Amino acid sequence: MKHFLICAILVLGITVTAKAQYTDVINSNRPGNSYSAYAVGTGVIQGENGFFYEMRDHSGLRTEASRMGLDYVIRYGVFFEALEIILDGSAAYESVTDNSTLPASEYDRTNFLRNTLGIKYLIYDPFKNDANSKPNIYSWKANNSFQWKNLMPAIAIYAGANFNFGDNPFLPPNEPTVSPKVMLATQQHITPRWVLVSNIIYDKFTTDDPSLNYVITLTHALANGRYSLFAEHQGFKSDFYGDGLFRAGAAYLINKNLQVDVSGGMNIKDTPSRIFGEAGISYRLDFHEDPKKRIDNMSDYEKKALRKMKKSKKKNPFEQG
């Protein structure tokens, strides 16, 4: 546990921020498992769903299992730009072969892996009142290179409740019907194409089996803007289950409100060993209304430069997603 805590603290210390709340293009947490620091924006209802398949082999119990199911997330921006309500769950069907008996026995089981309802609120946005965070219309390098100011963290807090329905074979014995979950999420745009997100999660801390977890996700957007790649590490520590997972994958933006993704990964232990893959889709219903037009947020210098560009019939960079 000591080494786990040190690792988690270091992860939090190196993570930092993004530049906007609502975005013109859908901003999904998929295909990773981390929560971004920013909300979807008021009036936005966003779904992030995936179908997964996993193979498990437990060397100690001598069991083999194949698991398939659905991950589902619904995010709703309400009241404030910084606030969103999140329903996050996963349901699975698993077929198990127990090789510890002669002959081997087989059985199936079905239930929720998780079912959590919570709220997330952005408590600190370093770019909120930063006039220098606006695009430099004369310098591509200034907009696409690393800047030291990006090492300021955007920070969000999350509080929610896990719900357990009946006798669940996927959860620890005597799991309560309701248990709490809290999280600290940070986000950083190292450059406009590289984003680093991290979460530290304290889950079910009022039960007999509290869990301390962390997630680190690094995403890179390719030059055309429609494809992105990601790599992720997730760690778990509890009496019931401890492990480290590694994932990688890609996403493709079909249009500003629709994204598809694929991913795969594995863990680091053999009790059980895990290999898994997933295909998913993210979509949003966008009823967001900006309180001001972009032109109202420009400085007089920017407005003057924009007028010059229009006169010279150059393309307006502010019209790009």
231 and 298 part of one domain = no
Give pTM, 2 decimals.
0.79
Kindly state the greatest CA–CA separation across the chain.
83
**Strand bridging mode 211-221 / 194-203:** antiparallel
9 and 141 part of one domain = yes
Average pLDDT over residues 295-311: 60
221 and 307 part of one domain = no
Q: Which pLDDT does position 192 carry in this prediction?
A: 83
Residue-wise pLDDT tens digits, 240-257:
888 999 999 999 999 999
CA nearest to 168, candidates 244, 84, 112: 112
113 and 262 part of one domain = yes
61/304 Cα distance (integer angstroms) = 71
CA nearest to 126, candidates 11, 13, 19: 19
32/217 Cα distance (integer angstroms) = 7
Give residues with Cβ within 8 angstroms of 103, minimum separation 6.
Answer: none
* Phi, psi for 220 (deg, rounded to 5): -130, 125
CB atoms within 10 A of CB 162: 23
Examine the pLDDT at 230 and tell me if it is beyond 60.
Answer: yes
233 and 256 part of one domain = yes
Q: Which pLDDT does position 166 carry in this prediction?
A: 83
Residue 190's Cβ-side half-sphere holds a number of Cα atoms within 13 Å equal to 12
76 and 218 part of one domain = yes
DSSP characters over 151-188: GSPEEEEEEEEEE--SS-TTS-TT--SEEEEEEEEEEE
Residue-wise pLDDT tens digits, 92-130:
999 999 998 889 999 999 999 999 999 999 999 887 766
Number of domains forming the structure of the chain: 2
63 and 177 part of one domain = yes
122 and 229 part of one domain = yes
User: What is the domain-level CATH number for residue 160?
Assistant: 2.40.160.40
Sign of CA dihedral 146, 147, 149, 151: positive
308 and 206 part of one domain = no
16/191 Cα distance (integer angstroms) = 12
299 and 275 part of one domain = no
14/18 Cα distance (integer angstroms) = 14
User: Is-contact 83 44, C-beta < 8 A?
Assistant: no
User: Is-contact 214 200, C-beta < 8 A?
Assistant: yes
307 and 215 part of one domain = no
User: Is-contact 92 113, C-beta < 8 A?
Assistant: yes
278 and 295 part of one domain = no
Residue-wise pLDDT tens digits, 10-56:
333 333 333 446 888 999 999 999 999 999 999 999 999 999 999 99
Residue-wise pLDDT tens digits, 188-227:
988 889 999 999 999 999 999 999 999 999 999 998 889 9
Q: Which pLDDT does position 276 carry in this prediction?
A: 97
Residue-number span of the structural domain to which 294 is assigned: 290-321
DSSP characters over 37-96: SS---TTEEEEEEEEEEEEEEETTTTEEEEEEEEEEEEEEE-SSTTEEEEEEEEEEEEEE
